[in-house]
Each structure stands twice: as structure tokens, then as C-alpha cells.
Structure 1
Amino acid sequence: MKLFSDTIRTIERSLDYSALKHEITAQNIANADTPNYKGKQVTFQKALNEALSASTLRVSDDRHITNGQKRDSAVISANRQVQYAHNGNNVDIDKEMSDLAANQIYYSLLTDRLSGKFQSLQNVIKGGK
């Protein structure tokens, strides 16, 4: 018997992505004035693909994505093409703060969804009371 659904595993992986995104964004903010520091970013699509590859996808049409397709993992990369400051730094503090706020909302949404899943399990365990 499977105790936890694939949804919970997907939420767990999404929380891991959000935590990584927060860590990288915090590093960028902390190094906003560091000479020659190149801001880093986490590629969302690869993290999403990793989360989806772990879950079972229901295919109702031949054109849908299947679990057999190769998925990549999350990637942290530095943007070396843009330079905002005269000291070689390329961190845009306004963009980083905006990304941090968006990620905080995303993380909050995920924790609410996970809490709802566990409340549903608790309701089942109590017999619907």
C-alpha cells in the first residue's frame, strides 16, 4: 500500500527547488557589492522536469509527455554576460529582491498545499470526524 501520493513527492521536490532558489538569491544579495562577483541563478525548467519525472504521469493521449523521456536536474549557473557596476559585479539588487519575494510566495503556497494534504490524511485516519 502506498501511504503518500505522488503529489506529496512533487511538492517535496518543489520545496527543495524553492529552498535552493532562496539560497542562491540570498547569496546574490549578500554579494551585491563584491567586486567581480557574478550573480547566479537556478534554472526552473530543469527543476520542474526533475520533479515531474519522479511522479507518475497519466497519459490519455499519444501526444502527452511520458515518463520514458529523459529529464535534467536543477542547474545553478552564473550570468557572465551582463555587468551593472563599474567593479565587474552584475547583481541587480532590485531584481534579486523581487525574485526573493516571488520565491517566498511560491514557498508559502507549497507549504499550504502540503499542509492541506496532511490534513486530508488526518481526516481519513480519524474516520471523517
Structure 2
Amino acid sequence: MTIFDKTMRLIERTLDLGAARQRVIASNIANEETPGYRAKELYFRDALAAAAGGRPPIALAATHGRHIGLRGEGVSLVMGKVAEMPAGDLPLDANSVNLDLEMAKLSDNAMRYHTAAVIMAQRFRQLMNAIREAK
């Protein structure tokens, strides 16, 4: 039996990837005036949802019938992918950062991170209450 269940591992990975996404967005904002800079995005939600649903983020090929499959949680293997955002018409300096869009993404990411942190804190409070009541 484990104290930290699948939900806790999923929330933990969500927090890790949310923090990484915050760094990517902050980098975009910091480079708003940099000529030639292309805005980037960290994509991880689809892979995280798939791993939470039991589909591992990596495909394994079993070349023999007695091979052992993926062990542990696939959620912990989700890394996300940093890719350049598609840009339409670029200004003369060829910078694709849209400050309004980046600020909106920053706010959205912060709200999602806060929500996951609150859920994690509630789970820890539940564990603490169970420990206290067991005395």
C-alpha cells in the first residue's frame, strides 16, 4: 500500500510541468524586444491526460511474448514538448511575441498552478487528519 496514490502523482507532475510552462512564458515575455525571437510554448496537457488515462507517454515494442511491459506510473514519464508558436504576419524585427497573449497565458497558467497546489494541500491535510486520528 502506498500513501501517495495516482491522484497525488498526477497533481505533482501537473505542478512540475506548470512551473516549467511558467518559465517558458516568462522567457517569451523577457524576449519581447529581441529581434528574431520566436515565441515558444510548452505542450504537455494531452500527454498528461493520456498518461492519467492509462496510456503511457511512450510506446514500447514487445519483441518477445514474455517481455515485461512498462512498470510504474506513466504520469511520471510525461515531459512536455517545447515548440515554437506558429506566427502569422511578423513585424520588421521578426519577433513573434504577442505581449497580450503571453500575459493571458501567464495568468491562466498561474490559476491552474494555484488550483493544483490547493488540491495537493487538501490531500496533505486529509493525510495529516488520518494520522492524527490514528493515535
The TM tier, using the shorter chain, reads 0.7 to 0.9
8 Å contact from structure 1 (residues 42, 77) kept in 2: yes
Equivalent residue runs for 1:1-129 within 5 Å: 1-49=1-49, 53=51, 55=52, 67=54, 69-71=55-57, 73=78, 74-79=80-85, 81-127=87-133
Judged with a 3 Å threshold, the aligned counterparts in structure 2 of structure 1 residues 83 and 38 are, in CA distance, closer, same or farther, namely farther
Unpaired runs of 5+ residues, structure 1, are: 58-66
Which deviates more from structure 2 when the two are superposed, residues 93-102 or residues 75-84?
75-84
Change (3 A) 1:116 1:87: same
The percent of aligned pairs where both chains have the same amino acid is: 30
- Per-residue deviation at 1:17? 1.2
- Residue identity in the other structure for 2:126: S
Question: What value does the CA root-mean-square deviation take over the aligned residues?
Answer: 2.1
Distance in 2 separating the partners of 1:70 and 1:114? 23
**SS of aligned partner of 2:3:** coil
Q: Tell me the CA shift for residue 85 of structure 1.
A: 2.4
State TM-score, norm by structure 2: 0.76
Query: Normalized against structure 1, the TM-score is what?
Result: 0.79
Task: Find the residue that maps to 1:42 and give its secondary structure.
Answer: strand
The question of whether the paired residues in 2 share the 8 Å contact of 1:17 and 1:47 is answered with: no
Q: Which structure would you say has the larger RCO, counting Cα contacts within 8 Å and 6 or more residues apart?
A: 2
Conserved? CA contact 1:83–1:89, under 8 Å: no
Unmatched tracts of structure 2, length 5 or more: 59-77
TM-superposition CA deviations, 1:26-71 (whole Å, max 9, x none): 000000010000000011334424xx52x5x5xxxxxxxxx3x442
